[in-house]
Amino acid sequence: MSAHKLPLDLIGIGTKVAVVGLIAGLVVEKAAPLNNMHPDPSVQVSLLSISMVLPSFWISLLAPICYLFALWSASDVFMRLHKGEGFGASVVKGLKDVGSNLIYGAIAAILIMPTLTAMTEDRFRGVRYDFAIEPLTIGLIGLMLWLITQAGEKLQTDMESFV
């Protein structure tokens, strides 16, 4: 391996390992408050049974799950690039998946999660939104990535028509 070439296979594998670690961290983070939900500590109730009655638990997972899918797709793109694939159909599809999942996660964080939370808490008076900097930035980067792959596909199609 030359000194100037990125070890894309290691980045791809590292990204997948990071995704698994992030999933474990997400489960621990979201499950911790559920342990204190039952008023009688002597009663053993499973975390799954508690989480099933708490829509807010599942709603809070929407954006992070989309972002984790984006990371997983990115690791696939790294692996394809390491194998020497150029800007072909599989790399374009992977980049589109990354962009789409970033967009879905941002929409979930900005619009869907606040609206569903208001609906489940019986205070729904219309669509809610939360324009935080992070999801807006992530969503715009996802949109940019998706648009770049669209332009790349069009350019590749135009180039093939000349040949």
Where are the chain's structural domains? 8-162
- Residues of the chain with pLDDT below 50 are 1-4
User: How much is the pLDDT for 3?
Assistant: 43
User: How much is the pLDDT for 72?
Assistant: 95
User: How much is the pLDDT for 44?
Assistant: 54
User: How much is the pLDDT for 65?
Assistant: 95
User: How much is the pLDDT for 37?
Assistant: 60
Whole-number Cα distances in Å, 161 to 61, 80, 90, 91, 155: 45, 25, 20, 20, 10
User: How much is the pLDDT for 86?
Assistant: 76
User: How much is the pLDDT for 126?
Assistant: 84
Distance CA 95, CA 80 (A): 11
User: How much is the pLDDT for 109?
Assistant: 96
